[in-house]
Chain A
Amino acid sequence: MRTILKAENLKKVYRVGRVDVHALRGVSLEVQEGEFLAIMGPSGCGKSTMLHLLGGLLTPTEGRIIIDDEDLTAASDAKRTDIRRRKIGFVFQRFNLFPTLTAEGNLRLAERIHDDGGDDPERRREVLRLLRLEDKMHHKPTELSGGEQQRVALARAVVTHPAIVLADEPTGNLDTENSAIVLNMFQELNYRFNQTIIMITHNPEAAAMCRRIVQMRDGLIVEPPGGVQM
């Protein structure tokens, strides 16, 4: 197995007025290809900041992030965007689908962004079939349940074959039944396609479905540095 993501001594300080807020105080993490990792911790411990840094949406105050052999921290803003485009798929708690587009339209948009106008109807159908959304292809987000919307968001994240899927509380807005369905989908993607997934969650049941759990507190990984293997 090779290391697909390596974060070294990540620090992030936000300036709020005249006060420095230390969101991350030196986090190091290695993720192997095909891992399904949960990052857990109380609110404000720096989980979301960590995910945004790993996804190149933020830049660290200190430290280094290597994704699939590319140094994210040394890259310019445009290069970081490019790495994100090619290597990362995001899934958010609030689904964040484009309300004006159908389920398939959302996937096609991801393809266009990823592949400069790319269009692969077969791949879209395959992903939607895998996530059992074939019959919802032409539905807009408002015509879908929360669970279905999150599955479309997951389909959109993986349709472009990203190296890593970063999921920010993907079951946070779902009921128990839909949470279970979505988590099963994550697990299926991980097992069947060796998809690397890093998921932030508060939910111990969701974390239990991952292969490894990392606990964070006060901007640091606290338990244990390598995480708990499930």
Chain B
Amino acid sequence: MDSLVTANIRQRPVRSLVSAAGVALGVALVMLFTGLARGMSDEMHRRSSNVLAEIIFTRPGSMELTSSMTNLSVKYVERLQAIEGVESAVPVIRYVSQGGKGFGFEQIEGVDWEPFSRMNNIALIEGRAPAANDEIVIDTTKAQNGNYKPGGVLQLFGGKPYRVVGIYAPESGARIKMSLAAMQDALESPGKCTYILVKCKQGYDQVAVAKNIDASPTTSGNKIQFTRDVFVNIEKSIPYLNVFLRVLVGLAAVVSALVVMLAMYTTITERTREIGILKAMGASRGYIISEIEKEAILISLLGLVAGFIAAFIAGILVQRLYGLSFEIAWSWALAAAAIGLLGGALGALYPAMRAANLDPVSALAYE
């Protein structure tokens, strides 16, 4: 291919690479952030869909995305079980800490294994249930990612060693679970929990059961939530996440456009004389603009591909190193592609129009 566009790109490889890298940076940022958000959202959704209790009984403000409190008495378990329509009630302590590698968050749950596993249809596929205060069970994903087996040790609560005694499946809620008593002991909250999972009897409507709980004098005044509403999409549960992502996308577009604009502006100045020659040869304004735009779009296309590859590699690395889920969000991938190409095309428009409007005689005399 011996066209002016490809020849110009080859002629200035560093300039072309830097411009493509600018576009790639924007695209990679969008892909990486949205990929992580989507990965975490899907993972949370998958894990929460295995919680089979319909109702969560808790205190207002005791359960946030990145923190939780242990302020609900386990005495409520008996009271809940006495209410019409309730089949079983299982107390859970949820503890949220910084991720093991200093990145993201990690949840640990304290549960009485036998009723919890029965309620949610989960089973140990290796080892046994936690009994002693320094014993935990983990799910298969955690075991695979960390290459843990029964007998292995995890540091929790600021470096305290916990022994893995069992591996369970399917994943449900937090990936690490210990006994309720052990968690109460670790958090110095005897007799307390974060929330109580309530499973309804067959044939009972969960809304009707929730009304019964709310109406009962022994349980009223607390917060009753439906599981389906609590474990919603992470994109909805983190306030302004979507706004943040959109701002990120906008910034990426601006970065791409500015990088391409700067590169093309410099190029046009460098090639003033060549533009004069094109004009002397009878090239129209449209032709000159289209040649410059083609060059910018080709550079953006290179940046786009590089950005996708970089995001994919970075996503895999983050997943491997920090255990965070990364999943390509195709709608955002389309947005990133549009940003890369449109940013480049728009960025080149001003230099292209400036070139097209150059006076041919002055351009030919340009040194």
Contacts and interface: CB of A to CB of B under 8 A. Distances in A.
A101 B364 contact: no
A92 B10 contact: no
A92 B363 CA distance: 13
Contacts of A85: 281-284
A1 interface: no
Contact of B279 (A81, A101, A105): A81
A113 B360 contact: no
Contacts of A57: 279-280, 360-361, 364
Contacts of A104: 2
Nearest to B276: A96
A52 interface: yes
Contacts of B247: none
Nearest to A95: B277
Nearest to B8: A100
Report the interface size class on chain A. 20 to 34
B282 A109 contact: no
A183 interface: no
Interface in A40-54: 52
Contacts of B279: 57, 81
Nearest to B12: A100
A98 B360 contact: no
A114 B282 contact: yes
B4 interface: yes
B11 interface: yes
Contacts of B4: 98, 100-101, 105, 109
A16 to B, nearest CB: 14
Nearest to A100: B7
Nearest to A89: B281
Report the interface size class on chain B. 20 to 34
B277 A98 contact: yes
Interface string B272-300: 01101111111111010000000000000
A19 interface: no
A55 interface: yes
B283 A81 contact: yes
Contacts of B280: 55, 57, 84, 90, 92, 96
Contacts, number: 67
Contact of A88 (B273, B278, B282): B282
Interface in A84-128: 84-86, 88, 90, 92, 96, 98-102, 104-105, 108-110, 113-114
Contacts of A78: 284-285
B282 A84 contact: yes
Given A102-B2, A108-B2, A81 B364 contact: no
A143 interface: no
A82 interface: yes
Given A92-B364, A113-B287, A86 B282 contact: yes
A144 to B, nearest CB: 16
A113 B10 contact: no
A70 to B, nearest CB: 13
Contacts of A88: 282
Give the residue among B11, B273, B274, B277 with the most A Cβ atoms within 10 A.
Answer: B277
A96 B273 contact: yes
Contacts of A102: 2
A84 B285 CA distance: 13
Contacts of B287: 113
B217 to A, nearest CB: 85
17 contacts: A52-B361, A57-B360, A81-B279, A82-B284, A85-B281, A90-B280, A96-B280, A96-B364, A100-B7, A100-B8, A101-B7, A105-B2, A105-B3, A105-B7, A109-B4, A109-B281, A113-B278
Interface of A: 52, 55, 57-58, 78, 81-82, 84-86, 88, 90, 92, 96, 98-102, 104-105, 108-110, 113-114, 156
Interface of B: 2-4, 7-8, 10-11, 273-274, 276-285, 287, 360-361, 364
Q: Which 9 A-B pairs have the closest CB atoms?
A: A85-B282, A100-B7, A105-B2, A84-B282, A100-B11, A90-B280, A57-B360, A96-B277, A113-B283
